[in-house]
């Protein structure tokens, strides 16, 4: 065991952590907003529901790796895309990765939110209506808080999956954690030590994330902790 090499590797990998976190944070934020829109669209009309179902089918049914390849290498082949106003964004590997990750997590997220909405007891909604709440107030005070609480455990898993999925960005020249690890392997030819270090860093990130989601879950379910007397 070469401790000096491990230390040096961890240090070099640590410099890539911000890129990984940035990719995960930006794509999950955009993805969540998109997921909410999709979930509401799905509940709004028949045509809306059909569109959302098709979207979810495509993005949940095909591998994220393929989606990244299609967006990065596929779109870049068309002159129309290269001459459009989108090219300054699509030219950058970073934005292509964000786009693929966000579109993908939006599909999963909208299903999770749909599950959460479906789990809101009809009685709670009726009680809100009886109390004279408007549709907006009903959503704000009854439906969304309950749905969020129901959806949180599943959405926590989705966030963790997204942190791990950012590793796929390494194949489109982004030097995030996994990309950096592969570069170190190609410099040192020592695969095991480097990937073990990278794995440990992912574990540490996700350990903090699971704790944070758990904390949020506990905050949102005060009744589960017993009523203070």
Partner 1 sequence: MIVFRMGLAAVTALALAMSMSAMPSAMAKDWTKLVIATEGAFPPYNMTTPDGKLVGFEIDMAHDLCARMKVECTIVAQDWDGIIPGLNAGKYDAIIAGMSITPKRREVIDFSVPYVSSPATFEVPKSMADLPMLGERINLDDKAASDAAIAKLGSALKGKIVGAQVSTIQADFLKTYLSKDIELRTYPSNAEQDLDLAAGRIDMAFASSSYLVSAFAKPGGEKMKMSGPFVTGGMMGAGSGVGLRKADTDLKDKFDAAIKASYADGTMSKLTVQWFKIDVAVKY
Q: Which residues bind partner 1 (CB under 8 A)?
A: 73, 76-77, 82, 91, 93, 171, 173, 182-183, 185-187, 189-191
Cβ 183 to partner 1 shortest distance, Å: 7
Q: Which is nearer to partner 1, 88 or 132 (CB)?
A: 88
CB of 61 to partner 1, least distance (A): 25
**Comparison of 74 and 153: residue with beta carbon closer to partner 1:** 74
Q: How far is the CB of 73 from partner 1 (least distance, A)?
A: 5
Distance CA 199, CA 181 (A): 10
SS3 226: coil
DSSP string spanning 41-104?
A: HHHH-HHHHHHHHHHHHHHHHS-HHHHHHIIIIIGGG-HHHHTSTTHHHHTSHHHHHHHHHHHH
Residue closer to partner 1 by CB (options 18, 76) is: 76
Sequence-distant (6+) residues with CB within 8 A of 143 are 117, 120, 124, 125, 128
Smallest gap from residue 65 Cβ to partner 1 (A): 12
Beta carbon nearer to partner 1, 183 or 210: 183
């Amino acid at each position: 065991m070469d401790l000096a090499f491990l230390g040096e590797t961890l240090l070099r990998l640590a410099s890539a952590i911000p890129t990984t976190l940035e990719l995960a944070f930006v794509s999950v934020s955009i993805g969540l907003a998109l997921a909410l829109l999709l979930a509401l669209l799905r509940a709004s009309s028949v045509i809306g529901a059909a569109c959302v179902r098709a979207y979810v089918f495509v993005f949940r049914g095909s591998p994220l790796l393929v989606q990244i390849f299609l967006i990065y290498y596929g779109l870049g082949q068309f002159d129309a895309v290269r001459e459009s106003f989108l090219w300054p964004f699509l030219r950058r590997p970073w934005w292509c990765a964000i786009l693929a990750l966000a579109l993908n997590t939006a599909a999963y997220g909208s299903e999770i939110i749909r599950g959460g909405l479906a789990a809101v007891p009809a009685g709670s909604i009726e009680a809100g209506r009886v109390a004279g709440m408007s549709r907006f107030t009903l959503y704000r005070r009854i439906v969304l808080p309950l749905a969020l609480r129901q959806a949180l455990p599943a959405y926590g898993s989705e966030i963790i999956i997204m942190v791990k999925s950012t590793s796929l960005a390494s194949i489109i020249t982004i030097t995030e954690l996994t990309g950096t690890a592969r570069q170190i392997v190609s410099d040192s030819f020592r695969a095991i030590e480097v990937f073990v270090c990278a794995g440990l860093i992912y574990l540490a990130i996700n350990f903090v994330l699971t704790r944070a989601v758990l904390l949020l879950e506990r905050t949102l379910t005060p009744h589960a902790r017993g009523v203070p007397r």
